Amino acid sequence: MKIRVALVSLGCAKNLVDSEVMIGLLSKAGFEPVVNLNKADVLLVNTCAFIDEAQEEAVDTILSLAELKKKNPCRKLVVTGCLAQRFAEDLLDEIPEIDAVVGTGDFAEIVKVVEDTLDGKRVKLVSKQPCFIYDETFPRRISTPRHTAYVKIAEGCSNKCSYCVIPEVRGEFRSRPIHSIVEEARNLASDGARELILIAQDTTRYGQDLYGTYALDKLLKEVCRIDEVEWVRVLYMYPSRVTDELIEVMASQPKVCKYVDLPLQHVDDELLKLMNRHGGHEEARQTIDKLRQAIPNITIRSTFIVGFPGETEAKFQSLLDFLEEVRLDRVGIFTYSPQSGTLAPRFSGRVRQSIKEKRKQEAMAVQRLISREKNDSKIGRTMKVLIEGRAEESELVTIGRSEAEAPEIDGLIYIGNLHPEPGEFKFVKITDAGDYDLVGEIVSSH
């Protein structure tokens, strides 16, 4: 009888890819992946540690799995990912039910780690400087819908933002070669993927370490040559590295989704300098202007941090003014969360948590009105939509996304007149709009 493994993946899509590789490796080694935690012999959790909320979610998940283990002491509990990388000793000391902790640069050894736990060993495998990155030869068991898959084009980060732990937990930025990414993309496409989402902590830095120059534009051209792929989406572009060559490729390649995720984090130049963000407020505006001029129908998403040390009411107001003036399509607002090991907690001008929360609500209220106005302007338009399946709320409603909506991040398009299969593309006429979601009717196949 095969040993059954259940994996809980927390955090971002980059973490999800690691989870899919781990399950792929375990499956290849003869383990049986299961969804039901109660039926698993081995409980795996891949954790996030980016902000306090993510750490709390990770610890709560570990503790709930530890309770499951108490009901069946033969079960093994393995903790991987960013929390394991940062707090391996603390986890082992404080949660005795944990059988192994595995760092972000060591999950390629997951089969041996699990086998060692089954032999009764307690394992700590955490490299001080993560340097591993998977390639096209690693097996992956895709957990997203078959028609959409993520491809991690690089690992780690070298930006050293003063609030961020990613360089500590993921190591320095390191790109995969173009041929490796394209081969993986071909394999995913042959298995049914129609939308490929290229991800990294900083996709616009892609290739600098390997080729001496930014090469995301070249990579996009190669991936777009894969016949079966209809959409190529890119996430997490650093504002100051959006080159003219990249904009030209995004504008000219029909398969590239006219969508960018451009984390600006703030618009006050003093705060940006404290954050150790490269490029200031004017450069961000110029990048947005260039994108909109070259690609008039582009969707621009960004994220901002409120309550960073030194953010006065005037500096926060400059952010609100920016949102109202520039009118981005999508915005995420995060409250600053001090992380040990980063520089920002040492800065003066701390902002009370209650003020952080108030500012977050104010910023989201401004953006909600902008989002609603932009959605209202889409009523009557017809757009190409990727069908996701039936809505959770009702079997009578189908959901989908246009190129303007990234999965798990943005809103959805709700469709009531027809119910195509997931993975099909249809043309949908928008008939109604909410703050974040749209309603439409299928008018034809593409």
Give the model's pLDDT for residue 413: 98
Range 261-282 average pLDDT: 94
pLDDT value at 71 more than 60: yes
The answer on pLDDT for 235 being more than 90 is yes
Distances (CA, A) of 12 to 16, 46, 49: 6, 11, 10
Residue among 78, 97, 80 nearest 40 (CA) = 78
Domain with CATH 2.40.50.140 in the chain: 382-445
Burial 45-83 (b: 16+ CB within 10 A, else e): bbbbbbbeebbebbbebbeebbebbeeeeebbbbbbbbb
Task: Give the mean pLDDT of 93-101.
Answer: 95
CATH superfamily of 382-445: Nucleic acid-binding proteins (2.40.50.140)
Half-sphere exposure of residue 275, counting CA atoms within 13 Å on the CB side? 24
* Spatial distance between the Cα atoms of 21 and 103, rounded to a whole number of angstroms: 14
- The model's confidence at residue 51, banded by pLDDT at 50, 70 and 90, is confident
* Residue 111, both tokens: 């089969």
Per-residue confidence (pLDDT) for residue 268, from 0 to 100 = 97
CB atoms within 10 A of CB 429: 16
SS3 (DSSP) at 50: coil
If one counts every other C-beta atom within 10 angstroms of the C-beta of residue 17, the result is 22
State the pLDDT at residue 6.
Answer: 96
Fold of 148-376: pyruvate-formate lyase- activating enzyme (3.80.30)
Nearby residues of 378 by Cβ (< 8 Å), 6 or more positions away = 430, 433, 438
| CATH 3.80.30.20 domain extents, the chain | 148-376
Find the mean pLDDT for residues 291-304: 97
pLDDT band at 113 (very low <50, low <70, confident <90, very high): very high
Q: Is residue 334's pLDDT more than 70?
A: yes
What's the pLDDT at 26?
97
As a whole number, mean pLDDT of residues 363-372 equals 97
Hey, what are 359's tokens? 């500012």
Say what the pLDDT of residue 283 is. 93
CA distance 6 to 185: 26
184 HSE (CA, 13 A, CB side): 25
Among the CATH numbers 3.40.50.410, 3.30.450.40, 3.40.50.300, 3.40.50.12160, which is that of 4-125? 3.40.50.12160
Q: Computed from CA positions of residues 196, 155, 57, 110, in that sequence, does the dihedral angle turn out positive or negative?
A: positive
Dihedral sign from CA coordinates of 280, 202, 408, 196 = positive
Residue 149 clears pLDDT 80, i.e. is over it: yes
Query: Does residue 259 register a pLDDT over 90?
Result: yes
What is the pLDDT, as a whole number, of residue 100?
96
Amino acid at 353: Q
| Mean predicted confidence (pLDDT) in 246-273 | 97
Give the angle subtended at the CA of 290 by the CAs of 285 and 293, to the nearest 5°: 120
State how beta strands 425-433 and 438-445 pair. antiparallel
- Which residues does 289 contact at the CB level (< 8 Å), separation at least 6? none
- What does the pLDDT read at residue 352? 96
**Mean pLDDT of the 148-172 span:** 94
Query: What is this structure's pTM?
Result: 0.95
Residues of the chain with CATH 3.40.50.12160: 4-125
Q: Which one-letter amino acid corresponds to residue 48?
A: C
Average pLDDT over residues 297-302: 97
Tell me what the mean pLDDT of segment 333-340 comes to. Answer: 94
What pLDDT is recorded for position 446?
A: 57
Query: How does residue 49 score in pLDDT terms, banded at 50, 70 and 90?
Result: confident
Range 239-243 average pLDDT: 92
Residue 445 pLDDT > 70: no
